[in-house]
């Protein structure tokens, strides 16, 4: 959600900033802008729409050839004010000396705006961001504070979340960045500095980075930098870390869309997530070892997450309760932070986030930490806020995910939760050595050939998708472990094709949703050949008798399924845990091909952001 790129060095900054913005497009946005120091003045260009519109505007300006090697850029996801050119970032103060870009929300912008208006300061946009830059400008121009002091004074007076980078024409060799609740990463290379909302615009230039923590600011002056506190004028020691992302992670390769590429990458990402985390007799989760004694003694477990990660949490609940016999409550992070959750130091809170920067999930972690619970982070980004703010955690190792609709991160999260459930069951002596060995054999032999087999069905799934591309509503139905798969399948369709879809436990269908069924409505059933098989056949019959269209995803070759279905996706025969993965991948492809057939922007669906860093 929103994206920041900044550069300070000796090179022309326009190409660097524009390339960085393109790397951040996956986050979701509706306008873009750039500001560079040109002849000791801030030159700002911004446009509603995509980065390509901004690029055209810059190409037509003579000033684009005279950049002094200092600049900031931004992709905006609208919160305060319409997504138009006026509200696009960067924003400047009234004196035009100070310019900034901002991710996040300034919650107390209204009283600050009223105060500034009382001082005869005029506003040009509808954004909360302009309030912040005007406040910094007020302290600098009227309060006779230094540039750094003005930034600190303003930030100490705002409530909410921010990731900001600021320029001041009076200090043409200085750049200041600060964060609270919205991520910022600083890249360092031989007197050059690269700043981004994440590593994607940085990794091309350097692998040496600093992750800013909340209430920290980076003051870059000339070829030197200093990390300081927002709360007081003190320096903070910071470790320069080396990241191992590859540039290939940010390239589509032979695929038209990142989402399609990432669906295919699950052949290896599931294997990579599981690899090296088990032996023939035990599960190895080294990231939890320091707290394992407390974890295995837990009396209850909360899992908190948002969106797709919440669906993974539902599968985790099923697995943990099934194997380890510990009660698990799964709650949306946005609700967890406000509900009266009963927690103490014998409670485990597992927070799941693909980006590691989800605002609601971070707030839930903070609440759990305040109650003394042991917090475990499951995320895909080393060095992210979730990684740093939980007591311990596990990285999913699935590589950078760029498509807004999560695919490979979801199946990697399920893989981690499977391992966790087994390890907890083993520690609590709730699983026999024989059963443990069977599960670990399955883990050590992740059936990549089965995933490839599903991917080889692309042509038939694409043909099926075109058949249903004009449907206005879908029902997705499953039981047990596959109810969350139904929820996830429905969410994927909604996210990228804009077709209304709902997921339900199959038996719940007749408690309301069956009223929607008619001859035009597709109903997707997830049907493994397990103990729920006969019951779900009855649910299919109920839809069939009402003329509903039946799409079945199954690993069974039973004739009855072919007779009942209008369309059928036959998966390789496997165990019930791997079936969840295969069914998920099949439904990802189905949603993808429907969205493509409808001409939707698969990687950047409307109104959505990859990393939701505001509440």
Q: How many CB atoms lie within 10 A of CB 185?
A: 26
Q: How far is the CA of 483 from the CAs of 476, 502, 523, in angstroms?
A: 9, 11, 14
Which single residue is written with the structure tokens 């309030």? Answer: 131
Mean of the pLDDT values across residues 574-578?
Answer: 88
Q: Is the dihedral of CA 594, 596, 601, 602 positive or negative?
A: positive
Q: How many CB atoms lie within 10 A of CB 344?
A: 10
Element of type H or E holding 33: strand 31-38
For residue 357, pLDDT beyond 90: no
Pairing of strands 91-92, 473-478: unpaired
Which tokens hold the place of 33? 């802008």
Q: Give the DSSP per-residue string, 245-300.
A: --GGGG--TT-SSHHHHHHHTHHHHHHHHHTTSB-SS-B--GGGGGGHHHHHT-SE
Nearest to 353 by CA among 423, 432, 402, 406: 406
Element of type H or E holding 388: helix 385-389
Those residues with Cβ within 8 angstroms of residue 182's Cβ, 6 or more apart along the chain or in another chain: 2, 103, 104, 161, 162, 163, 197, 357, 359, 613, 614
Report the pLDDT value the prediction gives residue 30, as an integer from 0 to 100. Answer: 86
First vs last C-alpha separation in the chain: 11
For residue 60, pLDDT beyond 80: no
Nearest to 381 by CA among 247, 243, 283, 195: 243
Which tokens hold the place of 516? 């929607």
Decide: residue 317, CB within 10 A, 0-12 exposed, 13-18 middle, 19+ buried.
buried
Q: Determine what percent of the chain is predicted with pLDDT higher than 70.
A: 96
For residue 249, name the pLDDT band (cuts at 50, 70, 90). low
Residue 355 CA to residue 263 CA, distance in Å, equals 17
Residue 487 CA to residue 502 CA, distance in Å, equals 7
Catalytic positions, written as ranges: 2, 610
For residue 70, name the pLDDT band (cuts at 50, 70, 90). very high
Does 63 or 5 have the greater pLDDT score? 5
Q: What domains can you pick out in the chain, each with its CATH number?
A: 3-250 (3.60.20.10), 269-446 (3.40.50.10490), 455-597 (3.40.50.10490)
Average pLDDT over the chain, rounded to an integer = 90
Please state the separation of Cα 36 from the chain's center in Å: 29
For residue 64, name the pLDDT band (cuts at 50, 70, 90). low
For residue 7, pLDDT beyond 90: yes
Q: Give the DSSP per-residue string, 575-613.
A: -HHHHHHHHHHHHHHHHHHHHHHTT--SSS-TT--SS--
Report the pLDDT value the prediction gives residue 229, as an integer from 0 to 100. Answer: 95
Which tokens hold the place of 58? 């810059």
**What are the pLDDT digits (tens) for 272-289?**
899 889 888 899 999 999
Q: Give the DSSP per-residue string, 52-67.
A: HHHHHHHHT-GGGG-E
Residue 336 CA to residue 353 CA, distance in Å, equals 15
For residue 489, name the pLDDT band (cuts at 50, 70, 90). very high
Does 248 or 210 have the greater pLDDT score? 210
């Amino acid at each position: 959600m929103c994206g920041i790129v900044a550069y300070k060095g000796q090179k022309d900054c326009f190409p660097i900033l524009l390339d960085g913005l393109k790397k951040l497009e996956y986050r979701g946005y509706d306008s873009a802008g750039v500001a560079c120091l040109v002849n000791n003045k801030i030159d700002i260009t911004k446009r509603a729409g995509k980065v390509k519109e901004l690029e055209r505007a810059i190409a037509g300006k003579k000033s684009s050839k005279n950049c002094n090697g200092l600049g900031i850029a931004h992709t905006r996801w609208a919160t305060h004010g319409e997504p138009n050119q006026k509200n696009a970032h960067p924003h400047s103060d009234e004196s035009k000396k100070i310019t900034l870009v901002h991710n996040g929300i300034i919650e107390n912008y209204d009283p600050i705006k009223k105060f500034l208006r009382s001082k005869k300061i005029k506003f040009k946009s509808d954004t909360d961001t302009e309030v912040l830059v005007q406040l910094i400008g007020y302290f600098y121009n009227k309060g006779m504070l230094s540039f750094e002091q003005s930034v600190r004074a303003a930030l100490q007076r705002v409530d909410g979340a921010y990731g900001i980078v600021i320029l001041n024409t009076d200090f043409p060799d200085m750049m200041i960045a600060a964060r609270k609740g919205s991520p910022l990463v600083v890249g360092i290379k031989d007197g050059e500095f690269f700043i981004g909302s994440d590593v994607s615009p940085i990794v091309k230039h350097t692998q040496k980075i600093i992750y800013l923590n909340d209430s920290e600011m980076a003051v870059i002056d000339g070829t030197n930098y200093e990390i300081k506190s927002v709360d007081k004028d003190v320096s903070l020691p910071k470790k320069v870390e080396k990241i191992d992302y590859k540039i290939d992670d940010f390239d589509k390769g032979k695929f038209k869309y990142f989402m399609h590429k990432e669906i295919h990458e699950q052949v290896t990402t599931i294997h990579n997530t599981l690899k090296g985390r088990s032996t023939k007799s035990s599960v190895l989760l080294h990231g939890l070892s320091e707290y394992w004694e407390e974890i295995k003694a837990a009396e209850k477990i909360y899992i908190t997450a948002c969106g797709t990660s919440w669906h993974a949490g539902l599968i985790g609940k099923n697995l943990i309760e099934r194997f380890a016999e510990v009660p698990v409550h799964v709650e949306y992070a946005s609700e967890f932070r406000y509900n009266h959750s009963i927690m103490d130091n014998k409670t485990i809170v597992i927070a799941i986030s693909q980006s590691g920067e989800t605002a609601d999930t971070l707030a839930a972690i903070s609440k759990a930490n305040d109650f003394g619970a042991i917090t475990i982070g499951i995320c895909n980004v080393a060095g992210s806020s979730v990684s740093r703010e939980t007591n311990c955690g596990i990285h999913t190792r699935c590589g950078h995910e760029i498509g807004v609709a999560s695919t490979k991160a979801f199946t990697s999260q399920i893989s981690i939760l499977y391992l966790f459930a087994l390890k907890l069951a083993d520690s609590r002596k709730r699983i026999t050595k024989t059963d443990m060995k069977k599960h670990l054999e399955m883990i050590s032999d992740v059936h990549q050939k089965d995933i490839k087999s599903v991917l080889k069905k692309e042509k038939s799934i694409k043909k099926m998708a075109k058949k249903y591309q004009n449907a206005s509503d879908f029902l997705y139905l499953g039981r047990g472990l596959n109810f969350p798969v139904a929820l996830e399948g429905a969410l994927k369709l909604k996210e990228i094709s804009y077709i209304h879809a709902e997921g339900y436990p199959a038996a719940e269908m007749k408690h309301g949703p069956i009223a929607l069924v008619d001859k035009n409505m597709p109903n997707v059933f997830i049907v493994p050949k397990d103990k729920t098989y006969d019951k779900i056949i009855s649910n299919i019959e109920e839809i069939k008798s009402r003329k509903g269209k039946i799409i079945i995803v199954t690993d069974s070759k039973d004739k009855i399924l072919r007779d009942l279905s209008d369309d059928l996706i036959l998966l390789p025969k496997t165990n019930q845990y791997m079936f969840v993965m295969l069914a998920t991948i099949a439904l990802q492809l189905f949603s993808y091909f429907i969205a493509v057939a409808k001409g939707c922007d698969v990687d950047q669906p409307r109104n959505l952001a990859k990393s939701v860093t505001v509440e």
